[in-house]
Amino acid sequence: MPRYYVNRNEQPNGDHEVHKEGCNWMPSNKIDLGIFSNCSSAVTAAKKHYTTADGCVHCCEACHTS
């Protein structure tokens, strides 16, 4: 199962993107969320840090909503 991270820096629209390990757009300023079986569980965990967490369009497309 992959490890997921959430970007500490918000995007211009206010989202904090969740990335799967190995993503080409992985930020350097991130929080390690842990290992999850899917991006949905990782986004739920990220929302404990940032209510505006959303999946990365590149590595978590199924969880990208905005």
The amino acid that residue 60 corresponds to is: C
Please give the pLDDT value at position 66.
83
Q: In the chain, what are the domain boundaries?
A: 3-63
- Can you tell me the distance from the alpha carbon of 66 to that of 61, in angstroms, rounded to the nearest whole number? 11
Is residue 35 a contact partner of residue 42, using CB atoms and an 8 Å limit? no
pLDDT in tens, the chain (66 residues): 999 999 999 999 999 999 999 999 999 999 999 999 999 999 999 999 999 999 999 999 999 998
**pTM score, whole prediction:** 0.95
